[in-house]
Each structure stands twice: as C-alpha cells, then as structure tokens.
Structure 1
Amino acid sequence: MFCKHAARKRINIVAAAFVAAAAFAIPGHASAQAADSYPSKPIRLIIPYPPGGATDVIGRIVGQRLSEEIGGQVVIENRGGAGGNIGAAEVARAQPDGYTLLMGALTSHSVMATLEKDTIPYDLRKDFAPVGVVGFVPLVAVVNPKLPIKSLSELVSYAKANPGKLNFASSGAGAPQRMAMELFKQIAGVKIEHVAYRGSGPAMTDLVGGQVETMTETVPAAISFIKSGQLRPLAVLTPQRVSMLPDIPTAEEQGFSGFNVSSLFGVMAPAGTPAPIVAKLNKALTTALAKDDAKAQLLQQGVYADALDVEASKARLNAEIEQWAKVIRDGGITVN
C-alpha cells in the first residue's frame, strides 16, 4: 500500500509540474506574466521630430505623465528626419516588448501612408500596434483680412467669381494643413492653388503679407495672428467649437458637412507587442490624461486631451488613413 501510494503521489507531482510548464508555454499566459512585471527597465519614447516642435512638447508631457502612472522611467529620445519617417521606422523595427514606443503625429503619418507609400520604410497598419490616442490640436481656416471674405460660403463664392486668383499656403506638401484645404476644395467644388512652404512660420508670414490669400492652420500657431487682427478666422474645423476661439463657428455650423480636421496625436508600439502590455500601457495613459492637471498642461500647448482605449484608437487611426487616402486619390494629389 505504501509503495502504491508513493507512486501515485510521484505521478501527481509530475503531472502538476507538466501542467504548470505547459501553462507557461502558452503565449497568452507568458504575455500575462510579462505584463505583471512590466516595466522592469526604462521605456524609450521615440519622438520622430527634432526638439522644440509640437510633437516633442506633447511627447514630453505624455512621457512624464505615463512614467508617473505606470511606475517606471520613460526616456525621451528625439529621432528627427525625413518628415518623421526615420523615428517611426526605428520603432517599427524595434523588439516588440513594450520598451520602445512612438509618440506619433497620427494625422501626418496617416497622410504619408498613402502620399508616400512607395518610399516610407514601414506600413502604418501592419508594423504598429496603437497604444492609445492622446488628443488633438484643432485647425482653423483663415484669410488675409484685406479680402472681402468673412465665412466659408463667402470664400467659395469669391473663389468661383475669381478663378485662378486664389492661392492657399501650407506648412508642407504632405502636411495636415494642406490636406484640410484639399478636403475643403473637394467638398465645396472650388479651385484654389497650393503653395507649399517650409513650415508654418513662413507660410503665415506670406499670408499676412498678402502673397497668398488663405490657409488652414493649427489654432495654437494662428491664434496670435487672429487676436492681433492680422488674420481673419472663418471657421474652426472641429465638430464643436473650441475654448481657445469660442466665438468662431465650426465648418459644420456653416453647412460644410464633413469638413472636420484636427491634428491627431497618439502613442504606438511595434506590431507584435503582447496585448496585455499594450493594455497596461493604455490604462496608464488614459488614467494619467483623465486628470484635470494633465488636461490643463496639454491645453496650454493647444492640445485637447482625448485619450481613447485600444480598440477605439485602432478605429480612429484606420479612419484617418482611409479619409486621407480618399482625399489624395480623388484629388490626384502628389507629394511634389
């Protein structure tokens, strides 16, 4: 009896050990175990632009808040160049373990996914796992105040009455500001020629000087020109009015359905990052950015916090990609 009992006991121990080993061999279980101890070393947050720009400022706020919430160090690394493609490609190639993340200008990346699809070294849909949308910077349509234009409808009427005489500026051939005006042209059925500049500063300088007539720009970049009377705002391009320009109507209010454009920002990880780690990052991100002081800190930079869960972030990114792919196709738009 003793021998049989001992044998059964040994069998039970071996079986239990086998079950435990098998459980750890299951990818989902291993991922959950990894998430429990995550992070165990510093997280790199790659900002694919030089220091000082909008994405850099937003990324540093997000990095600080994420670090406080998740209980680990977040190290900011700027990898500027090629319109954000160098830094994005580095993250796409990184080990998918949650320790290398991208602070993405999601609208810009979504435009490039179609406009530069043959040259960018990554696939936005296949090579990244969205961690979470952070928020958005609203855009506003403006004109030189010397023009007799005070609304979007008047801009349409003026463009149709003066064919070939209106030009719009943008901060670059693939910039969201350019794409917003291209979308407006398609909705309104007007022709306004594009003039690309190397950044918002030179574009707005020429708009104020009358070398070009109109443009869409981020509210933070345009607001001082608006308040000084150097530019006239026509509409904000958000579904609702924004607190920074509360008296300016939306495009929707003026009857231009679908003319909604903001510059979207968010955090992404390399594709293949374990879902439990992505979920842990998203929870930390959404919790951190729901705090009033975090919202206020972002709003000081012109960013409206709008943190989304993982699935909503995926849907939002896909919607951005599809929207700009259609605008680019329908308008025959090229990067040149």
Structure 2
Amino acid sequence: MTGLAILLVGYSLFSALTIALTHFRSEHYGDQPVSRAMGLVLLLALGALQAAHFAWLYLERDWVTELPYRMILFAVAPAFYMFSRPLLRPQAASPNRPALLGHALPLLICPFLPEASALPLAFLVGAGYMLWLARSLFRLRHERAHFHLELLLLGGVFTIAICVSALGLVQASLPDRLFFSLYAVAIGLAFLLVQTTLVLRPQLSVEVRETVQAAYATSTLNNVDCDAMLARLEALMASERIYADADLSLPGLAERVGLRPHQLSELLNARQGKSFARYLRERRVAAAKAMLCDEPSASVLSVGLSVGFTSQSNFYDAFREVEGTTPGQFRKLNARGGAAR
C-alpha cells in the first residue's frame, strides 16, 4: 500500500501542475475569476497534502503532525466550495462578508484545536460540503444526458471523497502509516478521474455553467419562434461563417440572431442539447475537417486559426474532444485520393 501511495503522490503533483497550466486558463474562466482563483488554491492545497504524505511515508518526516498540515486540511473543503459554487449556482448572489467568514471559521479555529480531534473534525467539515455538492448535482439530474460519462467519472470522485470523510472519522483507530497511505491513494485516484474527465471535455466548466443557467432559468422562449431563430443561426454559420470570428461570444452571437444571450443559451440547450461553447466548437471542428481534406497543403495550425481557434493547443483539444483524434491523424485517414500529405 505504501508503494502505491508514493506512486500516486508523484502522479498527483504532476497532475496538479498540468491541470493548473491547461485547464485553469483565463479563457475557461473569463467571467469567473473567483472560481478560477479558488480552483488554483484547491490544487495547491491538495498538492501540499500529498507532499506531506510523501515526507511521512518515504522520508519519515512528521509533517502530517504539524499545524500547517491540519490548517491545509481544513482549507480544502471551503476552497472546493468557493470553486464550484459559481459553476453550480450561477444565479445565486456572491457570498457576503459574514458568509465568507463562516466558511473560513474552521480554518481560523484550527490552531486552537487539540491534535487528536483536529483531523476527524476536518473530515467531518468536508463531509458537510460533500452533502451540499450532492444536493446541487441532484437538482441537475434532468441535465445528466448532456454529461453522462463525465458525471460518472465525477461521481467516482464524489464517492472517493465520501470514503475519505468516513476514513477520517475513524482515523484514531487505524495505524498512522495505513491511514495516510490510504488518504494519499484516494487523492491520487481523484486526480486521475478529474484529469480523465478534463481530457474528454476540456471546457467542462464553461459547459456546466451554461447548462446550469439554462436549467435554473424560467423559460424565456415562450414568445420566440424557435424554428426561425434556429434557421437564422444556421444561416449565420453556413453562409457568413461567423464561427470563424475568434472573438465570437454568446452576447455577440445572440445580437446577430436577434435574441438576448440567455434566450440563445436556452435555445441551444433545449433544441440542440448542448451549450453555446460546445455548439461553437463543433461548428469550428466541422469546418476544420473540410479544410483538412480539401486543402492538404495548408498547415494544421493555419486551418485551426482560420476557423476561429486562437491557438494550436485550443484547436487540438477541441478536435480531440469532438472527433476522438488529432487533426493530423484525421487528415491522414481522410486525405483526398487516399494519399496522406
């Protein structure tokens, strides 16, 4: 168990760095700076916990018995809440100062708690936040078809978190080496599931936020000719290639169609079964597929930029998400005349 724990500690640290550099980019959280900041804090906290586990399990340093470790442990659940709340409850007002103080209270009282009770209490606090997450996800049960596989993977993370909370409550009855090995393994497995989810849906946070907004909103399409609006949208995409505008946003497209942004978001979710971000990526990837076959001399990067992607990494991420392969591999398999260029 110790060997597996040390292996997953190393993976966790690598994964935390990778997620911070690839997922928590400004374009994924442009209008959610608090969520982005708290996500980075959460990665830093989990990475620090894993570093302490490595010091305990491999270097035999008692970092896990020190006050900083316990304070970080108390910080994980509130950081997770502040990260996920803007995504899962976008219609709710931002927390006021008393509410923020309430979330920080466990961290503030941690230095005054006896060491024997600090860890179980930290895991008990974490279990409370997990119940909030479960309630928020249950309210989105009707949208599960949009994120079926992703919800299964994140459900695995949720299950791991619940098991860790239960483990923490009986920590005193377990050998320290076994407990911290199991905890390190749990964090490592959670990182594995999260990274797998983000590989499948690189812009998952954007899509979840848009879907949640549509799910919670009262319908604004009662007096809208949805078929006419969809036809107008198709014309903009097919004839004017509006998707090629790298700066195209939901408000900008809604104005061109003749709708308000939340109306267009609801229309896409209700009639197309996808968020604006997903819809736009699929249109761009479809255009890129045609160019990759029809213009074999064009570089992959130039194709991506010409259909609206802002960088090669964005193009590759979106193409792999939609098609399950890279642009270069797609071109080789579908080259005109059967010859790969």
TM-score, reference length from structure 2: 0.24
Task: Mark the structure with the bigger radius of gyration.
Answer: 1
Q: Which protein has the bigger helix share? A: 2
TM-score, reference length from structure 1: 0.24
Work out which structure has the larger RCO, using CA pairs closer than 8 Å and 6 or more positions apart in sequence: 1
Q: Which protein has the bigger strand share? A: 1
